[in-house]
Chains A and B, each alone.
Chain A
């Protein structure tokens, strides 16, 4: 295999500049090791074979993006950096937004994050370089590429991908209400609720975790978000919150959150408190206990 030099050109289609600023940090700060990929930053899009595109694609950027793409020689690779480029994120549904990007150009690698850590950006570019090599040699892009950079540790406090403790969640929809980028969808099923978090729409702000009354939704420090584009709609956290069946009347009911009970009854064993009867049967039992 002959060595192909990846030539990077960045296009900002309306980002808040977070991804662009962090791209500069990724490119010029040694600790992110981008030089190990042998990439070159080029001044002219015509010389480029690896596009880094940020932003949700504004109406005014669209014709210029097309113009720039037309100047490029195939094959080339597109790495979308930042949640906006993948799904328009927080800016979705605005009159001025024509994205996401993949409406207009085939995207190879998506890097969600708001902004992504430089380590994620570097990983996204590394995957892009791999795809570029395969394209140049006429090979088919695989469905999955293993992580290229090995060091993926972040401080414990880093707000990475959100996750859910199913047993704590009651499907109260607070997270859905405070999420600014509609990354959370809670839907009713026959047995309870499905709670979905779409990492590619998430702006990693932590609002959901902050406002969650039971401590169910929380952030992890996992920032493994540089993925091939076939993962775009499947990089989600799916949780099922199931009804319990009342041991008395056999009706289904939403059990109280262990998180909340733990806060309310600090000195008691919550598991014992959580007798499996529904609120109306409990009311009836209490009434009988007091007045019968």
Chain B
């Protein structure tokens, strides 16, 4: 699949501005990036992926330095070419593409529990992996709750037992 061909498929339908770039690794595998300004345009891209018989591989999110904003990256595959779609959300929500691409199902559910990013219109509201004893958005925090509360990590506790054993 040529990147220009894919661009033709999306350019007339996208509402906001977007950037298209391409990189490749030392083995010659190309990697396309679609960087969206308007996060609603995810649906346009997802439909184009579907039209090319592609699939959603996975999605990633990370917290930005700017307060309360997250960058979300979807990774798609069209017959061996990776297409990455990047967008920014400032209200911890995105519009689900699972109704268009079933293969995005788990990736979006995980985004919800790991980053507390709501996935609007996702067909399933259950948690996927994260136990209900844990609060949503665990990957937003850098320091674990127990360390925050007691100032001690499990490693600290175990090593103090070793040191006691060595003394006695």
Q: Is there a direct interface between A and B, measured as CB atoms under 8 Å apart in the complex? A: yes
Instruction: Tell me if A60 is interfacial: C-beta within 8 Å of chain B.
Output: yes
Closest beta carbon of chain A to B118's beta carbon, Å: 21
Chain B contacts with A in 136-167, Cβ cutoff 8 A: 138, 141, 144-145, 147, 153-155, 158-159, 161-162, 164-166
Closest beta carbon of chain B to A38's beta carbon, Å: 35
Q: Is the CB of B144 within 8 A of A93?
A: yes
Contact of B133 among A59, A185, A234 (CB under 8 A): A59
How far apart sit A196 and B165, CA to CA, in the bound complex (Å)?
12
Instruction: Tell me if B134 is interfacial: C-beta within 8 Å of chain A.
Output: yes
Q: Can you name the residue of chain A whose Cβ is closest to the Cβ of B164?
A: A233
Q: Is the CB of A198 within 8 A of B154?
A: no
How far apart sit A8 and B161, CA to CA, in the bound complex (Å)?
31
Are A87 and B158 CB-contacts (below 8 A) given A59-B131, A95-B145, A96-B131? Answer: yes
Q: Is the CB of A201 within 8 A of B138?
A: no
Instruction: Tell me if A58 is interfacial: C-beta within 8 Å of chain B.
Output: yes
Q: Is the CB of A233 within 8 A of B162?
A: yes
How far apart sit A201 and B158, CA to CA, in the bound complex (Å)?
10
Q: Is the CB of B134 within 8 A of A93?
A: no
Q: Is the CB of A198 within 8 A of B162?
A: yes
Q: Is the CB of B158 within 8 A of A95?
A: no
Instruction: Tell me if A182 is interfacial: C-beta within 8 Å of chain B.
Output: yes
Are A236 and B147 CB-contacts (below 8 A) given A59-B131, A60-B131? Answer: no
Contact of A88 among B130, B134, B154 (CB under 8 A): B154
How many residue pairs link A and B with beta carbons under 8 A? The number is 48
Instruction: Tell me what chain B mostly uses at the interface: helix, strand, loop, or mixed.
Output: helix
How far apart sit A87 and B131, CA to CA, in the bound complex (Å)?
21
Instruction: Tell me if A270 is interfacial: C-beta within 8 Å of chain B.
Output: no
Closest beta carbon of chain B to A14's beta carbon, Å: 11
Q: Is the CB of B161 within 8 A of A233?
A: yes
Contact of B134 among A87, A96, A233, A234 (CB under 8 A): A96
Across the interface, which residues of B come within 8 angstroms of A93, CB to CB? 144, 147, 153-155
Instruction: Tell me if A94 is interfacial: C-beta within 8 Å of chain B.
Output: yes
Seen from chain B, the residues whose Cβ lies within 8 Å of a Cβ on chain A are 129-131, 133-134, 138, 141, 144-145, 147, 153-155, 158-159, 161-162, 164-166
Seen from chain A, the residues whose Cβ lies within 8 Å of a Cβ on chain B are 58-60, 87-88, 92-97, 182, 185, 196, 198, 201, 233-234, 236, 238
Q: List 20 A-B contacts (CB under 8 A).
A: A59-B133, A87-B158, A88-B154, A92-B153, A93-B147, A93-B153, A93-B155, A95-B134, A95-B138, A96-B130, A96-B131, A96-B134, A182-B155, A198-B159, A233-B161, A233-B162, A233-B164, A233-B165, A234-B166, A238-B166
